[in-house]
Amino acid sequence: MEKFIEKSEVTTAPESIPGPSMSRNVALLFAISCGLAVANIYYAQPLLDALSLEFGITHSSVGIVITLTQVCYALGLLLLVPLGDLFNRRRLIAGQMLLSVLALIGVGTAPTSTVLFIGIAAVGLLAVVTQSLVAFAATLSASAERGRVVGIVTSGIVIGILLARTFAGVLTDLAGWRSVYLVSALLTLVMACILFRVLPNNEHKSESLSYPQLIRSVLTLFVQERILRIRAVLAMLIFTAFSILWTSLVLPLSSPPLSLSHSLIGAFGLAGVTGALAAARAGQLADRGLGQRTTGVALVLLLVSWLPISYTQHSLLALIVGIVLLDLAVQAVHVTNQSMIFTVRPEARSRLTAGYMIFYSIGSAIGSIASTSMYEYSGWNGVCLLGALVSALALLFWLFTRRLH
């Protein structure tokens, strides 16, 4: 790591020089940091019953905790992530993580529901440090290895999302729901200190933009960069499919004839981790100029995955196969998307990330709402048909646009 830092401490724009080769240990540090940060916005999902009981919130209203976290995360993508194109990223990342520590402590010690909601909102807003880390990792890596690095870091994010529920459930059983946020605060503090020590102190020539101009320029990038528009739409579609599965999966698994416990249901996230780890190699294929081919193959796998998933109520093995295929496909496209958009406008990587991830959030929200509604209307078969239709739409969109960028 020290060797990496010595090579990277420069005072000129990092985007204007060939990046050093990033060691695997440093890439893994980025991945762990991202996983820890993004998990903060998913801890509340298995804790809603405990929060309802603790603060006297009705079951019909406690869902606002999840909504508030996601809305503030989306706001953070637009309002905070672009700052990486103006300020020293090392200080910005460490500062956001320290503020996250305070927010997590606020949630973990909240005496009233009002304090809880304020803390949860701050946690969601500051969790976008994950995307600042992705953009920084892309900037620090050499162009020939950028896809590999983005793949490793993105895998950390996905694993953090998938394991957050399991972590929260286990820790709540051992020491209560407050321990989840207090332990996360401690881990985040340790990680902030490590990152501040390890990350290179890159000073880059920032653009002469005011903050309002910076935010407006995120929208301008969509007008100017076709590859960003195309890849953002793909992100919206694949994460709609991803959310369709993971939002509604608990419903057939917890109902007869399966009637699985919450612990067993949470264990299916481990199958998703397998797919996410395998998808890290997609970045290496993008580095070799095979991004379009990788996208096409992954989108076909995404469509195919819904066939075994549709047999969930008859075969859990089929479900596991489907989960692995779906998570592999979604993350392969996600990694490839980011690898490709990071090749344009090096000075605006934080804004490119912000714009791209806003479409990711839109897709996740659409999938969550649509899947539960579809399950109520036509059961698990309807959910699988919806997922397959969205996946087919993504494949068709790619086929029509693959020669445009």
The tally of CA atoms less than 13 A away on the side-chain side of residue 260 is 16
pLDDT at 268: 80
State the helix-helix crossing angle for 316-341 and 226-248, rounded to 10 degrees: 160
| pLDDT confidence bin for 204, thresholds 50/70/90 | low
Angle of helix 211-224 versus helix 349-401 axis, rounded to 10: 20
Average pLDDT over residues 358-364: 87
What is the CA angle 327-81-220, rounded to 5?
100
Catalogue all structural domains in the chain, each as residue range(s) with its CATH number.
Answer: 23-201 (1.20.1250.20), 210-404 (1.20.1250.20)
Residue-wise pLDDT for 129-180, tens only, equals: 998 998 888 888 887 888 888 888 888 888 888 788 778 878 888 888 899 9
Half-sphere exposure of 100 (CA within 13 A, CB side): 36
Q: What percent of the chain has pLDDT over 90?
A: 39
Distance CA 239, CA 154 (A): 14
Q: In 3D, which of 115, 35, 129 has the Cα closest to residue 73?
A: 129
Distance CA 38, CA 33 (A): 9
pLDDT category, 246, cuts 50, 70, 90? Answer: confident
What pLDDT band is residue 63 in, cutting at 50, 70 and 90? low
| Confidence band, pLDDT 50/70/90 cuts, at residue 60 | low
Contacts of 201 (CB under 8 A, 6+ apart): 9, 88, 90
Residue 202: the pLDDT is 67
The two tokens of residue 379 are: 């059961």
**Do you find a cis peptide bond into 346, omega within 30 degrees of 0?**
no
Token pair belonging to 259: 């009637």
Q: In terms of Cα–Cα distance, which of 90, 81, 77 is closest to 14?
A: 90
Quick one: average pLDDT of 274-286? 74
- Across the range 264-271, mean pLDDT stands at 75
Q: Which of 95-99, 102-106, 188-192, 260-264 is least confident?
A: 260-264
pLDDT(125) > 90: yes
What does DSSP assign to residue 326?
Answer: H
Q: Please say if the pLDDT value at position 43 is more than 60.
A: yes
Task: Find the distance separating the first CA and the last CA of the chain, reported in whole Å.
Answer: 36
**pLDDT per position as a tens digit, 296-323:** 999 999 999 999 999 999 999 999 999 9
- Which positions ≥6 away from 139 have C-beta within 8 Å? 14, 15, 19, 89, 202, 346, 349
One DSSP character per residue, 66-134 reads HHHHHHHHHHHHHHTGGGGGTS-HHHHHHHHHHHHHHHHHHHHT-SSHHHHHHHHHHHHHHTTHHHHHH
CA–CA distance, 266 with 254 (Å, rounded to integer): 11
Identity of the highest mean pLDDT range in 69-78, 232-241, 253-262, 270-279: 232-241
